[in-house]
Amino acid sequence: MGTTVFERQRPQASVIRHSLADTRHSVFWRDDLPESLTPDRPALVGTHRADLVIVGGGYTGLWTALLASERMQGAKIVIVEAQRVGWAASGRNGGFCESSLTHGHENGMARWPNEMPLIERLGLENLDAIEASEATYGMDFQFERTGQLAPAVEPHQVEWLKEWAAEGEDGVVYLDQDEVRASVNSPTYLAGVWEQHACGMVHPARMAAELARVCEERGVEIFERSHVTGLNTSGPGVVVITEQGRVEASRAALGTNVFPSLLKRNRLMTVPVYDYVLMTEPLSAEQLASIGWKDRQGIGDLANQFHYYRITRDNRILFGGYDAIYYYGRRVEPGHEHRPETWEKLASHFFTTFPQLEGLRFSHQWAGAIDSSTQFTAFFGTARDRRVAYAAGFTGLGVGSTRFAGEVMLDLLDGVSNERTELEMVRKRPIPFPPEPAASLAVNTVRWSLARADHNLGKRNLLLKTLDALGLGFDS
């Protein structure tokens, strides 16, 4: 087995210790919100009635509510959130808002090759609508349509990039070593592809907060700190039950994502995988000049265990990924968010990527759970005589695709037949994960295989090839 660039070019241990010495265990995005965008909303108490009740106050629930307020003029719409709006993945992700609805082109081609032209068009239309929504609704979530840079950091990856660029996709630009380093100055870069139109950068917590604000302005009622304990459909509608109250509604949409589904049929459909992130202090003018990055693209490398990083409006660098950890038992717990060895590894990889930034400190470190499905992208459906719709399994690319999911859930509740609902990726559910202990064994064996491939010129072993053939390929 070979070694990767991050093992061959490690910074000194003292550099890592200095960078993490005063790092806060806190989510930068939420700390960065003004008080005006974090109102203290009431808990659900007593009985309320609605035309549509939405469980979950993250992107999925918020986009569904906003879109429903457009479709259902004058309807009563209620959101019930267990914590605070945008508290989970929606408030702590990297802020990459991609057009892909299939977790990348290759994953989509492996599963729905005949539908990919349509899916990619719908994805770009969805991203365009997200970008336009700032002006449409008077929101500010710091959207920048800067695209995404994919650098090669190992020699075998250069050929992958050339093959990608040769496909002739609009807005995909190949950069040789000199060109990519002129764009973003990292000594690890051997080449790059800049996908210019298919990704934007956002402030994740501001996006959730702004969506909530606009929803409330349009009459949507949001209850926070209200954990839903039951979903009753024994009567003509749907009853959502919490410890202190209930919402009686005609229909429901579930946006609980990584948390255990209120529908038994979906409880094996996802597993929580923990992702870890560092955020630097703001770069000085000299530090920023040393790395360039004037086009402010998001960056994601090509390894199975990949890194993603981007620059913020105040010129901090977010650096995350690589370790994606599944903990036995499928539980989402605060204790899983503390993993010093991963933050040390990320800090090491950061200074391998940008050695000229030695001395820079990290201000924040945090983690969050991703709802991963076996098809690596969201699945959809209805239950209880089409009174309940659901979407989950976004696998880390939900910033953009949750809006699409909101459209799909509303279509399904209305019984609409259109381009979205006729997609195979919407009509068919993926294979569920096995129960424990098989789930832990399977996920961690695949994770080991992916790491092994990164150390072997990207070559996939028999397990990964078998999963690919069965349509269960794990590629990131």
Alpha carbon separation from 417 to 251, 387, 422 (Å, rounded): 18, 17, 7
> Is residue 383 a contact partner of residue 253, using CB atoms and an 8 Å limit?
no
Q: What percent of the chain has pLDDT over 70?
A: 97
Say if residue 393's pLDDT is above 50.
yes
Kindly provide the b/e burial profile for residues 158-170, where b requires at least 16 CB atoms within 10 angstroms of the residue's own CB: bebbeebbeeeee
Q: For residues 409 and 473, give the distance between their C-alpha atoms in angstroms, rounded to a whole number.
A: 26
| Listed residue (193, 211, 195) closest to 203, CA to CA | 211
Residues 6+ away with beta carbon under 8 Å from 57: 79, 80, 81, 83, 84, 85, 86, 87, 208, 212, 222, 224
Give 227 or 451, the one with higher predicted confidence. 227
Quote the tokens at residue 445.
């064996």
Pairing of β 77-80 and β 46-55: parallel
Quote the tokens at residue 181.
């380093």
pLDDT digits 0-9 by tens, 272-294? 999 999 999 999 999 999 999 99
Say if residue 476's pLDDT is above 60.
no
Quote the tokens at residue 404.
């699409």
Instruction: For tokens 């996920």, name the residue.
Output: 443
pLDDT digits 0-9 by tens, 19-67? 999 999 999 999 999 999 999 999 999 999 999 999 999 999 999 999 9
Overall average pLDDT of the 129-143 stretch: 98
pLDDT of residue 46: 98
pLDDT digits 0-9 by tens, 208-254? 999 999 999 999 999 999 999 999 999 999 999 999 999 999 999 99
Kindly provide the b/e burial profile for residues 317-339, where b requires at least 16 CB atoms within 10 angstroms of the residue's own CB: bbbbbbbbbbbeebebeeebbeb
pLDDT of residue 457: 76
Overall average pLDDT of the 61-90 stretch: 97
- Please list the residues that pair with 307 across neighbouring strands: 321
Say if residue 475's pLDDT is above 60.
no
Q: How many of the other CB atoms lie within 10 Å of CB of 420?
A: 22
Quote the tokens at residue 422.
């006729």
Q: For residues 353 and 5, give the distance between their C-alpha atoms in angstroms, rounded to a whole number.
A: 9
In which band, very low, low, confident or very high, does the pLDDT at 177 lie, cut at 50, 70 and 90? Answer: very high
Q: Is the peptide bond before 437 cis (omega within 30 degrees of 0)?
A: yes
Identify the H or E element spanning 110: helix 105-111
In which band, very low, low, confident or very high, does the pLDDT at 463 lie, cut at 50, 70 and 90? Answer: low
Coil, helix or strand at residue 30: helix
Whole-angstrom Cα Rg for the chain:
22
Say if residue 461's pLDDT is above 80.
no
> Is residue 280 a contact partner of residue 316, using CB atoms and an 8 Å limit?
yes
Residues 6+ away with beta carbon under 8 Å from 298: 94, 95, 96, 146, 147, 148, 149, 199, 201, 308, 309, 310
Looking at residue 256, the DSSP 8-state letter turns out to be: -
Question: What phi and psi values does residue 389 have, to the nearest 5 degrees?
Answer: -115, 155
> Is residue 171 a contact partner of residue 198, using CB atoms and an 8 Å limit?
yes
pLDDT of residue 308: 97
Overall average pLDDT of the 451-457 stretch: 79
pLDDT digits 0-9 by tens, 83-129? 999 999 999 999 999 999 999 998 999 999 999 999 999 999 999 99
pLDDT of residue 470: 57
Cα first-last separation, the chain: 20
Residues 6+ away with beta carbon under 8 Å from 331: 272
Centroid of chain to Cα 95? 8
Q: How many of the other CB atoms lie within 10 Å of CB of 136?
A: 10
Quote the tokens at residue 372.
């991963």
Overall average pLDDT of the 421-425 stretch: 98
Pairing of β 388-392 and β 379-383: antiparallel
Summary mean pLDDT of the chain: 94
pLDDT of residue 472: 55
Q: What percent of the chain has pLDDT over 90?
A: 88
Q: For residues 297 and 326, give the distance between their C-alpha atoms in angstroms, rounded to a whole number.
A: 29
pLDDT of residue 452: 82
Q: For residues 20 and 360, give the distance between their C-alpha atoms in angstroms, rounded to a whole number.
A: 9
Looking at residue 261, the DSSP 8-state letter turns out to be: P
Overall average pLDDT of the 4-29 stretch: 96
Centroid of chain to Cα 148? 15
Q: For residues 66 and 406, give the distance between their C-alpha atoms in angstroms, rounded to a whole number.
A: 9
- At 396, which amino acid appears? G
Overall average pLDDT of the 175-197 stretch: 98
> Is residue 221 a contact partner of residue 85, using CB atoms and an 8 Å limit?
no
Q: For residues 83 and 234, give the distance between their C-alpha atoms in angstroms, rounded to a whole number.
A: 27
Q: For residues 160 and 189, give the distance between their C-alpha atoms in angstroms, rounded to a whole number.
A: 14
Say if residue 469's pLDDT is above 90.
no
Full-model pTM? 0.95
pLDDT of residue 467: 65
